[in-house]
Structure 1
């Protein structure tokens, strides 16, 4: 309705401007016509008077000229008329009648300049035009003025002034303008009626389209155009528009559902479905690029590095910590902390169940309840902890904190997009974890959990290179169970496995985390102690021997004790190659076996005489 009124107002304004322009043009034309008509009458009257006065002069009846002038002045529309003499005529023929002298400045200006002057005088009641025309002496006209007047060519002999009443013309012009205004007004009314009749249905169409598109911006495509309220000519357009809106409704619904299936947690307060789809598509593109990038990363730590960089660069999180949680061991390993110290207590590191986010498998928001997580050691921060389960064995926990309330609200809004990235990272991280497990199982002994001979083959060169660069030392021990074959033959292989496992437990409990324990084969074990002294290495070997000998085994109802023999060699004091040192430790072990078993033997050069290795 508003659009229709605007159209009518615009058309009315245009027609009124056109009518006003027409009336102004007509008024100016009437005024011009009145002036031109008066000028033509003045010229004709001036010619008549000139010729009449000449005739009076030739016939010698100049004293009768007043009657002649009065007769001319009595003509219709001539309000007043008088003739004035120039000085040149007065000097030749005398001053003439008293009314033949200049009456005003106009008469004097015309006599002086010899140029015609017109002056209009108007009021609300009257309208006149004054025309004063000079008489110029010339020998080339008829009659020859120089025959009677003592004058030169171009001299001003006198002038005639006339006043014409143009009020009648003005009245007629006014009436004409009134008629034109009435006709224009009638035309405007008719035009508005026609315009309203034919445009109003189309305006209804436009208004319905506008209302429909306004609602479509908010995602509501239900408003269609009512074809019964618009002209037949536009019903095809309405039908096409309704079909388009319906298809858009279906399409946007499918697109949004499809996108939501990829980015399920995408939050958006945008009421414009196009803008919302654009946001989701851009987010999906970023997530997809992230996924393609981490799929090509070599190790799990590289993926964690990508996640950390994402938190810093994309989400602008200043303080956060990333933990990897081992479900089996119930331990949390700190992967990264941006700055400062973790706000979680050390207890939650050693016992993952103390972590509320991990235990409940739900996001933890500190604003939900005072002192919500008892393991938080800070009361001056707001924190958000996001758990994310990778598989049955591992989870991630992202702990975010801030002191600023406004920043806390922003961080809380990042929960959904962070989950989007973790969603695509999950299968890749899980794959890397499985690869680690597979790799770990390939280099570890299934019975004891210690590294196996394959691990030694793969990593001995790396250890050697690192030792050379950093001037590190190693003590290598070869440990062998004495008379182990007798256990298998007497009590069976299951009993032998028990003995082997107990020895592996002794080895693991005796050495440090920096040391390596390897099941070299069968009942034989290899130990590599990192940076020991010779005395310290011998003490460790002796402690292993004694601890193992103190164990009593209950095998098939029979209690027995077993012993172990140990050979010790040092790198690089005994040899410049770890493989040589391993061989020397084995040589020392052989000596311990041949010397009565259940003892520790330190390798010496005299024990090994073979030059080939």
Structure 2
């Protein structure tokens, strides 16, 4: 029925467009006719005035011209106003004339200056007026010789006549005609739409009925009964479809439908129902084994490797890349690539929405259009990118490349099968992600969002071993709020908690992604700066120290406080061969900062551990 609505809407818009075009055309014609008619009247009046004035001049009765001009205006109810003006040359020769014969506005001046007719329309809600000013030029033919009486050159402007015509009646007549045309058009549109609706509705209902049956057939259900109110050929087609569907249902429809319910995304279709049933059963068996296997895997990374093994061994993919997308951060991470470098541009990793497959959530196949994905640099290669949504926060993309179009067609034929495996893995991956989040939550401090001491205790040895293998260095910062106990004792633990939470914000905004900030306990924090130079370490420590000292805390009753912190610094492996030792040395430097005045940054020196006076 949506198609019928679109058809009726289309016809209505076309008829409305035609009606509007007719109305606009009539409006323009009426306006043009009104102006043209008034202009012709003005031209005739101007000729009469010219001849009359010439006759007055020849007869020597120019002083009687006022009566003549008034009679022309009063005998024509359309002329609301009429006056003549003299040019400077005529005024110089004969004087200014009557008071009514002076220049009244800029239009008179323009006509006297240019010798060209000027007309202007003034419209309001009540009336419509046409102002027209026509020049009189000196001539020597077709009448009296103007040069015999006037000291001018041939073609000079002697004066002008200005008239104002009321064309309101013509405008109103045009509006009334337009309204009649509009009404006739609307009536015609309604009649046409009713007729179309009457004759088209039965066919639309037939198409809708057939569409429902075909949709069920796509799912393997051929039990649908087609109906129609249309007679003739349409009724014969419906009867034939019902016969065909009954035969399909009796032969293989039920079997196929029952098997297909076990595969979430369906299976590769085939014109041979027995072959399709066999394919579905084989797919069910493989997916069942796959799912039972990954359910006992410990992490999502192992599940990802299982999917990679399926792609390599079952589908014989020689070159592909496997990506994980963080939907919330809009970033993409390469989990695996069979060999070489990814064909995707590096910037896609930082802005995942650039990935066409992820953005559209549909498979992207290079053969569908030239340079389909603008972020792929794969000259001479064909590609298929398959997206898959795990949940609101995580998605996967499998990018498959090949040099042969035959291979591209082969891969395209089992995209649905790959999606079946991903669908089977989806709940398992979701479960692993949830477990990972729960574990991450247990390793984070709820108040600041930073890692806690348990995280440091579990992973510090891993960091140290990795640092030794890669010759990595760490700068260790131990931070402590000066006189923090007074905050809790004086203003309460609520204010103290706010101070602690703000430290977390300062640390997150001051360090890099590769660095680690940890709430060590109470108001103490540890920061590990990855591969930081001495200058970089001092800069970050100063930034943390400065930014925290700028914070203003509301303690109630209109009062505020500001706090400072002391920072101790040590270097791994320069100061100690383990990170734990460096944390201890940073704590020693922090103690020196506390005992020598607080609110300062102190770097660890070996003598601090040896001389108790420095502590």
Q: Please indicate the TM-score interval, normalised by the length of the shorter structure.
A: 0.5 to 0.7
Matches of 1:530 and 1:356, distance apart in 2: 35
Q: CA separation of 1:555/1:400 partners in 2, compared to 1, >3 Å: closer, same or farther?
A: farther
Given that residues 482 and 598 in structure 1 are in contact (C-alpha distance below 8 angstroms), is that contact kept between their aligned partners in structure 2?
yes
Secondary structure, aligned partner of 2:297: coil
Given that residues 265 and 419 in structure 1 are in contact (C-alpha distance below 8 angstroms), is that contact kept between their aligned partners in structure 2?
no
Given that residues 518 and 525 in structure 1 are in contact (C-alpha distance below 8 angstroms), is that contact kept between their aligned partners in structure 2?
yes
TM-score, normalised with respect to structure 2: 0.53
What residue number does 1:427 align with? Answer: 427
Secondary structure, aligned partner of 2:261: helix
Given that residues 321 and 342 in structure 2 are in contact (C-alpha distance below 8 angstroms), is that contact kept between their aligned partners in structure 1?
yes
Cα displacement (A) at 1:304: 1.5
Counterparts in 2 of 1:68-83, with a 5 A limit?
none
Whether 1:564 aligns to 2:585 is no
Matches of 1:379 and 1:579, distance apart in 2: 52
What residue number does 1:506 align with? Answer: 506
Name the stretch that deviates more: 459-468 or 354-363. Answer: 459-468
Whether 1:376 aligns to 2:376 is yes
Given that residues 348 and 355 in structure 1 are in contact (C-alpha distance below 8 angstroms), is that contact kept between their aligned partners in structure 2?
yes
What residue number does 1:415 align with? Answer: 415
Q: CA separation of 1:554/1:385 partners in 2, compared to 1, >3 Å: closer, same or farther?
A: farther
Cα displacement (A) at 1:397: 1.3
Counterparts in 2 of 1:454-533, with a 5 A limit?
454-467=454-467, 472-488=472-488, 493=493, 495-532=495-532
Secondary structure, aligned partner of 2:448: coil
What residue number does 1:595 align with? Answer: 596
Q: Give CA deviations for 1:503-533 in whole Å, capped at 9, x if unaligned.
A: 3333334434443211112221101234455
Structure 1: give runs of 5+ residues left out of the alignment.
Answer: 1-218, 223-245
Q: CA separation of 1:413/1:494 partners in 2, compared to 1, >3 Å: closer, same or farther?
A: farther
What residue number does 2:338 align with? Answer: 338
Q: CA separation of 1:494/1:397 partners in 2, compared to 1, >3 Å: closer, same or farther?
A: farther
What residue number does 1:145 align with? Answer: none
What residue number does 2:305 align with? Answer: 305
What residue number does 2:405 align with? Answer: 405
What residue number does 2:445 align with? Answer: 445
Matches of 2:519 and 2:399, distance apart in 1: 40
TM-score, normalised with respect to structure 1: 0.53
Matches of 1:356 and 1:464, distance apart in 2: 40
Matches of 1:520 and 1:322, distance apart in 2: 38
Secondary structure, aligned partner of 1:400: strand
Q: CA separation of 1:220/1:564 partners in 2, compared to 1, >3 Å: closer, same or farther?
A: closer
Cα displacement (A) at 1:303: 1.6
Counterparts in 2 of 1:156-305, with a 5 A limit?
255-263=255-263, 264-269=265-270, 271-273=272-274, 275-305=275-305
Given that residues 322 and 397 in structure 1 are in contact (C-alpha distance below 8 angstroms), is that contact kept between their aligned partners in structure 2?
yes
Name the stretch that deviates more: 553-562 or 424-433. Answer: 553-562
Given that residues 385 and 400 in structure 1 are in contact (C-alpha distance below 8 angstroms), is that contact kept between their aligned partners in structure 2?
yes
Cα displacement (A) at 1:554: 6.3
Cα displacement (A) at 1:476: 2.2
Matches of 1:473 and 1:221, distance apart in 2: 69
Q: CA separation of 1:397/1:605 partners in 2, compared to 1, >3 Å: closer, same or farther?
A: same
Given that residues 534 and 570 in structure 1 are in contact (C-alpha distance below 8 angstroms), is that contact kept between their aligned partners in structure 2?
no
Cα displacement (A) at 1:496: 4.1
Matches of 1:328 and 1:299, distance apart in 2: 21
Q: CA separation of 1:495/1:610 partners in 2, compared to 1, >3 Å: closer, same or farther?
A: same
Matches of 2:573 and 2:320, distance apart in 1: 45
RMSD: 3.5
Given that residues 495 and 555 in structure 1 are in contact (C-alpha distance below 8 angstroms), is that contact kept between their aligned partners in structure 2?
yes
Given that residues 475 and 532 in structure 1 are in contact (C-alpha distance below 8 angstroms), is that contact kept between their aligned partners in structure 2?
yes
Q: Give CA deviations for 1:527-573 in whole Å, capped at 9, x if unaligned.
A: 12344555654444234323333445566665654321011233444
- Number of aligned residue pairs: give it: 368
Given that residues 320 and 401 in structure 1 are in contact (C-alpha distance below 8 angstroms), is that contact kept between their aligned partners in structure 2?
yes
What residue number does 1:37 align with? Answer: none
Q: Give CA deviations for 1:136-190 in whole Å, capped at 9, x if unaligned.
A: xxxxxxxxxxxxxxxxxxxxxxxxxxxxxxxxxxxxxxxxxxxxxxxxxxxxxxx
What residue number does 1:584 align with? Answer: 585
Given that residues 383 and 402 in structure 2 are in contact (C-alpha distance below 8 angstroms), is that contact kept between their aligned partners in structure 1?
yes
Q: CA separation of 1:492/1:410 partners in 2, compared to 1, >3 Å: closer, same or farther?
A: farther
Cα displacement (A) at 1:407: 1.9
Q: CA separation of 1:498/1:366 partners in 2, compared to 1, >3 Å: closer, same or farther?
A: farther
Given that residues 222 and 253 in structure 2 are in contact (C-alpha distance below 8 angstroms), is that contact kept between their aligned partners in structure 1?
no
Given that residues 570 and 583 in structure 2 are in contact (C-alpha distance below 8 angstroms), is that contact kept between their aligned partners in structure 1?
yes
Secondary structure, aligned partner of 1:262: coil
Q: CA separation of 1:573/1:343 partners in 2, compared to 1, >3 Å: closer, same or farther?
A: closer
Secondary structure, aligned partner of 2:267: coil
Secondary structure, aligned partner of 2:373: coil
What residue number does 2:323 align with? Answer: 323
Secondary structure, aligned partner of 1:449: coil
Of structures 1 and 2, the larger Rg is shown by 1
Matches of 2:528 and 2:588, distance apart in 1: 16
Given that residues 515 and 530 in structure 2 are in contact (C-alpha distance below 8 angstroms), is that contact kept between their aligned partners in structure 1?
yes
Q: Give CA deviations for 1:196-233 in whole Å, capped at 9, x if unaligned.
A: xxxxxxxxxxxxxxxxxxxxxxx9999xxxxxxxxxxx
Given that residues 356 and 364 in structure 1 are in contact (C-alpha distance below 8 angstroms), is that contact kept between their aligned partners in structure 2?
yes
Name the stretch that deviates more: 516-525 or 311-320. Answer: 311-320
Counterparts in 2 of 1:32-43, with a 5 A limit?
none
Cα displacement (A) at 1:295: 2.1
What residue number does 2:349 align with? Answer: 349
Q: CA separation of 1:368/1:533 partners in 2, compared to 1, >3 Å: closer, same or farther?
A: closer
Matches of 2:420 and 2:523, distance apart in 1: 51
